[in-house]
Chain A
Amino acid sequence: MRKSFAFLASAAILPLMLTGIANATDYGKFDGYTLRVKLIGGAQYEPLYAEIAKWETATGAKVEILSRKNHFELDREIKQDIAAGTLDWCVGSNHTSFAPQYGTIYRDLNGVIPAETLAGFDALAIKNSTVDGRLVQLPRHSDISNLFYKKSLFEDQANKDGFKSEFGYELAPPETWDQVKDQAMFFADAPNFYGTQYVGKDEAITGRFYEMLVANGGALFDEDWNPTFNSEAGVMTVQWFKDLYDAKAVPAGVLNYLWDDTGLGFASGTVALNLDWAGWASFFNDPANSKVAGDIGLVRAPKGAGGKRTGWSGSHSFSITETCDNVDAAASFVTFLTDHDQQMVEARKGLLPTRTQVWTDAKKEFADAGNDFLVTVFDTYKVSMSEDAFTPPLIEPWIEVSNEIWPRLQAAILGEMEIKAALDEAAEATRTIMEDAGYL
């Protein structure tokens, strides 16, 4: 009886195993074909590219990487390709924030990628990858920020007592952005130590402003695409950035900071609280790179005055051009790069998977290996991805709009302009862009 049960069980499992093997290996055959691709470059993206050789071996095709640049440079190159009519490549790295600019150069992947494959992805990531009803990109990994903090500061009794006597409530990992401000000012001791920091230029600060604006109950646009960020919530949001800057609770050069600066700053052990992407988690906890390794706490991004948490989010992705000469090979390639095993490779670096199963499997792997920190990271980010995430407006002129907003934010934070005047000026410039683009 036991034997026959075992036989039945194996008979039932065998097809599943075979299917699994087939899924893992069946990427088609494209002998002698060379797939031309343009990929985003950078330390956290490279480990995935080391896996490309496996796809080449499985399919007999070769991959020619024409570009491997950061996303801003790649964006410029793609725009030049559109202008010059030289879209003679098949697969390009993309991002939810950038995709709407590119019009129809990328193929709708509905129908190109089988529905059962798409079903393995997180539904929100697929929704955010869709522009004007077209699935123009296959999400690779997602981004959202949560709050890292230096744990020992919150455990120190002198800090607890000092904070309570100064602010009248207990020192604990912050639940609101007002608490972050209080704590940042309390911990700051410039130039040796800072309460927090923020990215201060380019689309980076526009994004941070945008998510806090939403958390404070505001919005960039109304439903008819009129700019509305010069509202009371907008002023309150910029005031938060300015107060921290004026109080020297953030580094003096913060308005020139981008992601590397904030990441390296927190790892240097000179910052108490740091809102950052999951991709930094492993770096922060690596004693070879970080002075805060082993001393890191993590909480979900705090709430704004509107009771909502900040959750600016997006996904890195892959797209296939309309001009691609071998769509099957391109579809096979992007499917491979986003399959379970490849997403596990990225998840081990702390990047957030877009396949639901990988969340479970990666977390289990971390737990089995006793890596409690990465388990916490995945637990925290999973909740924020499902409950807090929202993208910037998926509109063609988003980057142009951003380029009008961020210099005015800087001017307001530096005190060169009144906050309301700066936001009014940015809103006026944004209105012109939206009119030119046909939204108004």
Chain B
Amino acid sequence: MRWRAEKHTPYLLLSPAILTILFVVAVPLVFSLYTSLTPYRLTKPDSINQFIGLRNYERLLDDTKFWWAFGRTILFLTIALNLEFLLGLGIALLINRITWGQRTLRTIMMFPMMFSPILVGFQFKFIFNDNIGILNNALQSLGLTDGAIPWLVERDLAMFSIIFAEVWMSTSVFAILLLAGLFAMPKDPLEAAKVDGCTPWQVFRHITLPFIMPFAYIAMTIRSLDVARAYDIVDVMTGGGPAGRTELLWTLIARVGYDNAKMGQANAMAYVSTILSILFTWYFFTKLVAARRYMGGAA
């Protein structure tokens, strides 16, 4: 009897956590999966009781708008995350070399991530405004252009603008985590490499970079999960337009789910797009494990 009680103790102790996860994560997930199999409209709550099987998913297969948004979101994620990594790495390396005022600079560096994405969106919307925005006015005043550049309208520029805003807001996440990696790095290998006559580039390429790569992949994993915060930026700056040129999965899903009130269809879109999140997260996680194995860490 006593043996049996001891056997169950861990489950008993874990049960609050398991129940919490069930209610906070599993139930909403299952519920939204179910609604994706219904024609559920927010304004007609009874429609949740009508089961239509995979009809919403079948519609998605023919929905070119959705697949364009899907592809565009992959492009957005790939460019934004890589740029954030490269810039974050550069900033971390520079700050790591500073001997005076480093704390102040670290604090200043974190300012952009303290802004709400909506504010960042408004800030860049007015910076990039073609008529009264400061960027065009500055370019015209400096004589670099004599026309109004339609930053938020022209196909490539519009994508560039929203990526720029996203990179501005989130690069510091990479910089902070990579800086933590640089701080944790032992000095002995660096000094040994210098004694052996390695060039700074060789030291960086073969010692510093492999050491901080696990930190980079942790940052990538975190960012790939919370990058959907960029929805607010895109919504404010372009709303996914014009003519769908900056339409990402998040703006499309929000419009279908809330503006059109078709939550069943929006949830089907969200479930398909979840594949994207899982793929990105899985990719970065395997890279993290590989990088740690390379460094002799956990297998």
Contact = CB atoms under 8 A, between A and B. Distances in A.
B243 A414 contact: yes
A190 B147 CA distance: 7
A353 interface: no
A122 interface: no
B243 A191 contact: no
A134 B148 CA distance: 49
A82 B47 CA distance: 12
A253 B153 contact: yes
Nearest to A396: B43
B261 A201 contact: no
A428 interface: no
Interface in B218-258: 237-239, 241-244, 255, 258
B153 A256 contact: yes
Contacts of A172: none
Given A201-B239, A252-B148, A407-B241, A270 B131 contact: yes
Contacts of A399: 259-260
Interface stretch (A14-22, A173-181, A230-238, A260-268): A260-268
A410 B43 contact: no
A75 to B, nearest CB: 8
A49 interface: no
Given A79-B43, A403-B259, A403-B260, A255 B148 contact: no
B149 interface: yes
A436 B45 CA distance: 16
Given A101-B43, A251-B148, A253-B148, A268 B263 contact: no
Contacts of A241: none
A235 to B, nearest CB: 17
A209 to B, nearest CB: 14
Contacts of A200: 242
A111 interface: no
A80 interface: yes
B261 A79 contact: yes
B129 A76 contact: no
Interface string B251-275: 0000100111111000000000000
A253 B261 contact: no
B42 to A, nearest CB: 4
Contact of A403 (B154, B237, B243, B255): B255
Contacts of B136: 191
A82 B45 contact: yes
A85 interface: yes
Interface residues of B, number: 34
A202 interface: yes
B148 A190 contact: yes
Contacts of B239: 201-202, 256
Given A399-B259, A400-B260, A403-B259, A253 B129 contact: yes
Given A83-B45, A201-B242, A410-B242, A253 B260 contact: no
Interface string A69-88: 00010011001101101000
B150 interface: yes
Contacts of B243: 255, 407-408, 410-411, 414, 416
Contacts of B44: 103
Contacts of B241: 201, 255-256, 407, 410
B152 A253 contact: yes
Interface in A182-204: 190-191, 194, 200-202
A191 B136 CA distance: 9
B150 A268 contact: no
Contact of B43 (A82, A190, A264, A407): A82
A264 B126 CA distance: 11
Contact of B146 (A191, A254, A403, A414): A191
A102 interface: yes
Nearest to B147: A191
Interface string A391-416: 00000100110010001101100101
A311 B18 CA distance: 59
Interface in A71-117: 72, 75-76, 79-80, 82-83, 85, 101-103
A390 to B, nearest CB: 23
A64 to B, nearest CB: 24
Contacts of A261: 129
Nearest to B129: A253
Interface in B116-157: 128-132, 136, 140, 146-154
A106 to B, nearest CB: 12
Contact of B131 (A82, A268, A396, A410): A268
B60 to A, nearest CB: 15
Given A80-B42, A83-B42, A256-B238, A407 B130 contact: no
Contacts of A400: 259-262
B141 to A, nearest CB: 12
Indicate the member of B131, B136, B148, B244 with the most A CB atoms within 10 Å.
B131
B123 to A, nearest CB: 14
B259 to A, nearest CB: 6
Contact of B153 (A82, A252, A270): A252
A85 B261 contact: no
Contacts of B259: 72, 75-76, 399-400, 403
Contacts of A414: 153, 242-243
Contacts of B146: 191
B96 to A, nearest CB: 40
Contact of B42 (A79, A253, A407, A411): A79
A265 B242 contact: no
B262 to A, nearest CB: 8
Given A194-B131, A252-B150, A256-B241, A85 B43 contact: no
A432 B263 CA distance: 17
A281 B140 CA distance: 30
12 contacts: A76-B258, A79-B43, A82-B45, A200-B242, A201-B242, A202-B239, A251-B148, A253-B153, A265-B131, A400-B261, A403-B255, A414-B242
Interface of B: 42-45, 128-132, 136, 140, 146-154, 237-239, 241-244, 255, 258-263
The 9 closest A-B pairs by CB, nearest first: A191-B148, A253-B130, A252-B150, A255-B242, A411-B243, A79-B42, A410-B243, A410-B242, A251-B131
Given A256-B238, A407-B244, 4 more contacts: A191-B146, A253-B128, A254-B153, A410-B243
